[in-house]
């Protein structure tokens, strides 16, 4: 029991420490959403989009999308980093320790979410600095939502890592799944005026609901009922966390 | 009472059909330094991985400290320490952090933890480098840190998979000293694998010689060497078989074996060399090389398998393996 609590703490602390030390990774992780935010936000400053209320600028529309994007990237990476632990041998050290696998999963999830939240918060702060108006209350609600989002993507990363042999799978997942999932959601553009076939894909994509929920909470614009968003997010989070934990408990060093 | 490690018909067939461990039987007694000696691919690491609960055996059973490795994996994990063949440190953390995290995973209380970290750092002489990131350590320092980590939670048995692979002679001797000290002063049972003849001979109370997943001999090093008997003369010739046939009948020859080289077991070997030349000449066999040895564990291996164990010092192949291991870390 004592070592299980300690295991959660160790897995959390290790990730946070590594994150703080690897400054280049932080810069790399937040650069892309920041770039999109600044470039598109200012580039399309004067443009009008069908489906975006006239009271809301494109920058404001985009900010929640980029917050979710940075959270998705970093939490997915935290989960899938088990691949590197395996390659560098550290996974064996953890797997022979007298602690339950579930404690390791919990520690990983909390660690990954902490890092994801820090990065999401940086994007949020940057958005405010760029001129997005949000209230403290909505920021707090946004934090709660992103915790759920982070959990689900750590779980996804963990599940993926448990089924992959080596680190080469990572770029595959990143380029074929995560990047498309960002673009085929409502992160960059509104749902209005999109061909039906595309809409189907967008509705099947959990990122859509995650972005939609955060956007409603932050700037009051949304395309799906908030309750449906929450239901989908909760469902997806439970599913990926359990799948991740299950597959990880089966994996060998 | 009882044995610290027991293996009964232990067998592992990997996916794809590689038979890595083939019905192995052995016991490790409490307080001894027990060694697995065998060439690359003999199945040493596979056996250790089964014993430390990282791999499931295909057949047979194993007990560590009385607990079945399959049914009581958690209990087994609590009783053991392990230093893997491949590096298993987090190189982005400091040496001290690696030790601290390990101690926490094993549930050491905070004061024991603090004291023990200092103790093991002292033991492996890393105190002054403890707060450097491990990625700045040399290979030998990493190895020493791993040994320190493996023993810090007072395991009943410490598994060391090739503890000195690829290290220079000086570091290797230092590590032998730690191992002896642990065994004597902390009374820790040690299970190590190696393919260095000298390591098995000097360090181990008992040695199991492993080949193709089987234990082909198991005893004290001195007893194993006694089996070979006296000295060995290795001969390469134009016709080993013919020479062997004709030597067998000589009274001074106790045994002849044909393998990669012709092995002639005898006493007073220095006096026998001229006799071998004489016999060879009489039967028209040309001798290409001849060498004589006092028996070592290498000769025991040859005695049982007819092959050389190779790699008895760090050769190029091994350096490549080491580098590969390190780069991944
Ligand atoms: N994961 C694996 N999948 C399939 N075969 C494997 C695997 N690991 C090892 N083997 C095979 O099992 C056999 C025994 O390997 P093992 O690593 O146990 O040998 P070893 O005695 O530790 O050798 P070394 O001295 O090189 O470390 C080898 O033939 C090896 O190719
Ligand atoms: Mg090995």
Does position A10 have pLDDT exceeding 70, yes or no?
yes
Bridge partner residues of B262 (DSSP): B235, B258
Could you tell me if residue A253 is inside a domain?
no
Judge if the beta carbon of residue B238 lies within 6 A of ligand 1. Answer: no
Residue B318: predicted pLDDT: 42
Of the candidates B163, B160, B157, B148, the residue with the CA atom closest to the CA atom of residue B116: B148
Residue B310: predicted pLDDT: 66
Could you tell me if residue A149 is inside a domain?
yes
**Burial class, B32, CB count within 10 angstroms (exposed 0-12 / middle 13-18 / buried 19+):** middle
Going by alpha carbons, the residue nearest to atom 28 of ligand 1 is B41
Inter-chain residue contact A92 with B88, CB threshold 8 Å: yes
Residue B315: predicted pLDDT: 42
Q: How far is A23 from chain B (nearest CA, A)?
A: 12
Band (B25; pLDDT cuts 50, 70, 90): very high
Does position B99 have pLDDT exceeding 70, yes or no?
yes
Band (A117; pLDDT cuts 50, 70, 90): very high
| pLDDT digit string, tens, across residues A46-97 | 788 878 888 888 999 999 999 999 999 999 999 999 999 998 899 999 999 9
Band (B57; pLDDT cuts 50, 70, 90): very high
Does position B326 have pLDDT exceeding 70, yes or no?
no
Going by alpha carbons, the residue nearest to atom 10 of ligand 1 is B20
Report which ligand 1 atom has the smallest distance to the Cα of B213: 14
Chain mean pLDDT for chain A: 90
Does position B47 have pLDDT exceeding 90, yes or no?
yes
Residue B324: predicted pLDDT: 41
Of the candidates A225, A227, A186, A224, the residue with the CA atom closest to the CA atom of residue A207: A186
Could you tell me if residue A200 is inside a domain?
yes
Q: What is the DSSP string of A88-135?
A: TSHHHHHHTSSS-HHHHHHHHHHHHHHHHHHHHHHHHHHHHHHT----
Inter-chain residue contact B84 with A89, CB threshold 8 Å: yes
Q: Which residue of B has its CA nearest to A4?
A: B105
Could you tell me if residue A113 is inside a domain?
yes
Q: Which residue of A has its CA nearest to B110?
A: A6
Q: How far is A5 from chain B (nearest CA, A)?
A: 9
Distance (angstroms) between ligand 2 centre and the Cα of A38 equals 53
Residue B262: predicted pLDDT: 86
Going by alpha carbons, the residue nearest to atom 17 of ligand 1 is B45
**What average pLDDT does range A149-155 have in this prediction?**
95
Structural domain harbouring A43: 2-245
Residue B328: predicted pLDDT: 37
- Which of B67, B73, B101 is most worth mutating to test chain A (most A CB atoms within 10 A of its CB)? B101
Q: Which residues of B sit within 8 Å Cβ distance of A?
A: 52-55, 74, 77-78, 80, 82, 84, 86-93, 97, 101-102, 104-107, 149, 328-329
Q: For residues A160 and A162, what is the distance between their CA atoms, to the nearest angstrom?
A: 5
Could you tell me if residue A139 is inside a domain?
yes
Could you tell me if residue A189 is inside a domain?
yes
User: What's this model's pTM, rounded to 2 decimal places?
Assistant: 0.83
| A96 lies within 8 A of chain B by CB | yes
| pLDDT digit string, tens, across residues A219-238 | 988 889 999 999 999 999 99
| pLDDT digit string, tens, across residues A171-219 | 888 888 888 999 999 899 888 778 888 889 999 999 999 999 999 999 9
Could you tell me if residue A15 is inside a domain?
yes
Pair type for strands B67-68 and B59-64: antiparallel
| A253 lies within 8 A of chain B by CB | yes
- Which of A81, A89, A101, A250 is most worth mutating to test chain B (most B CB atoms within 10 A of its CB)? A89
| 8 A C-beta contact, residue B107 and residue A3 | yes
Cα A57 to the center of its chain, rounded Å: 24
Q: For residues A78 and A180, what is the distance between their CA atoms, to the nearest angstrom?
A: 19
Residue B70: predicted pLDDT: 93
Could you tell me if residue A90 is inside a domain?
yes
**What average pLDDT does range B221-236 have in this prediction?**
80
Sheet arrangement for strand B214-219 = B80-83, B157-161, B189-194, B33-37, B206-211, B214-219
ipTM of the complex as predicted: 0.88
- Which of A17, A24, A96 is most worth mutating to test chain B (most B CB atoms within 10 A of its CB)? A96
Band (B196; pLDDT cuts 50, 70, 90): confident
Backbone φ and ψ of B109, nearest 5°: -70, 160
Number of domains in chain A: 1
């Amino acid at each position: 029991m004592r070592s299980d609590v300690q295991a959660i703490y160790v897995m959390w602390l290790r990730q946070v420490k590594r994150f703080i030390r690897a400054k280049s990774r932080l810069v790399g992780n937040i650069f892309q959403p920041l770039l999109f935010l600044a470039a598109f936000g200012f580039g399309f400053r004067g443009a009008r989009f069908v489906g975006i209320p006239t009271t809301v600028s494109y920058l404001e529309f985009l900010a929640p999308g980029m917050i979710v994007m940075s959270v998705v990237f970093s939490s997915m990476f935290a989960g899938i980093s088990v691949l590197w632990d395996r390659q560098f041998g550290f996974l064996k050290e953890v797997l022979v320790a007298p602690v339950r696998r579930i404690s390791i999963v919990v520690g990983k999830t909390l660690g990954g979410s902490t890092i994801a939240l820090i990065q999401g918060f940086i994007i949020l702060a940057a958005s405010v600095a760029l001129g997005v108006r949000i209230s403290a209350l909505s920021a707090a609600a946004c934090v709660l939502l992103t915790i759920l989002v982070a959990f689900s993507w750590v779980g996804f990363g963990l599940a993926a890592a448990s089924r992959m042999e080596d680190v080469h799978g990572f770029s595959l997942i990143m380029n074929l799944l995560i990047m498309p999932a960002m673009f085929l959601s409502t992160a960059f553009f509104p749902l209005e005026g999109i061909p039906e076939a595309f809409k189907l894909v967008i509705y099947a994509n959990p990122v859509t609901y995650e972005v939609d929920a955060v956007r409603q909470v932050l700037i009051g614009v949304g395309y799906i009922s908030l309750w449906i968003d929450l239901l989908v997010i909760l469902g997806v989070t439970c599913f990926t966390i359990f799948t991740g934990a299950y597959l990880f408990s089966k994996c060998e060093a | 009472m009882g044995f610290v490690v027991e293996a009964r018909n232990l067998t592992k067939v990997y996916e794809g059909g590689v038979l890595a461990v083939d019905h192995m039987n052995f016991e490790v007694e409490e307080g001894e330094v027990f060694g697995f000696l065998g060439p690359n691919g003999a199945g040493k690491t596979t056996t250790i991985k089964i014993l430390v609960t990282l791999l499931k055996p295909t057949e047979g059973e194993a007990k560590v400290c009385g607990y079945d490795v399959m049914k009581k994996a958690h209990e087994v994990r609590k009783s053991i320490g392990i230093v893997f063949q491949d590096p298993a440190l987090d190189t982005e953390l400091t040496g001290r952090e690696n030790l601290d995290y390990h101690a926490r995973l094993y549930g050491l209380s905070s004061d024991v933890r603090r004291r023990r970290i200092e103790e093991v750092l002292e033991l492996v002489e890393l105190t002054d480098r403890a707060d450097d990131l491990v990625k700045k350590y040399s290979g030998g320092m990493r190895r020493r840190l791993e040994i320190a980590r493996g023993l810090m939670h007072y395991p009943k048995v410490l598994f060391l998979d090739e503890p000195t692979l690829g290290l220079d002679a000086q570091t290797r001797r230092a590590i032998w000293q730690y191992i002896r000290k642990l065994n004597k002063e902390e009374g820790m049972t040690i299970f190590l694998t190696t393919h260095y003849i000298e390591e098995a001979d000097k360090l181990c109370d008992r040695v199991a010689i492993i080949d193709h997943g089987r234990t082909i001999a198991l005893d004290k090093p001195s007893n194993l060497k006694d089996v070979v008997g006296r000295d060995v003369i290795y001969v390469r010739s134009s016709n080993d078989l013919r020479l062997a046939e004709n030597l067998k009948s000589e009274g001074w020859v106790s045994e002849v074996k044909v393998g990669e080289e012709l092995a002639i077991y005898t006493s007073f070997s220095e006096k026998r060399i001229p006799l071998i030349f004489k016999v060879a000449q009489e039967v028209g066999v040309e001798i290409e090389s001849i060498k004589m040895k006092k028996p070592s564990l290498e000769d025991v291996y040859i005695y049982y398998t007819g092959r050389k164990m190779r790699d008895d010092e760090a050769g190029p192949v091994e350096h490549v393996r080491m580098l590969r291991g390190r780069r991944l870390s």
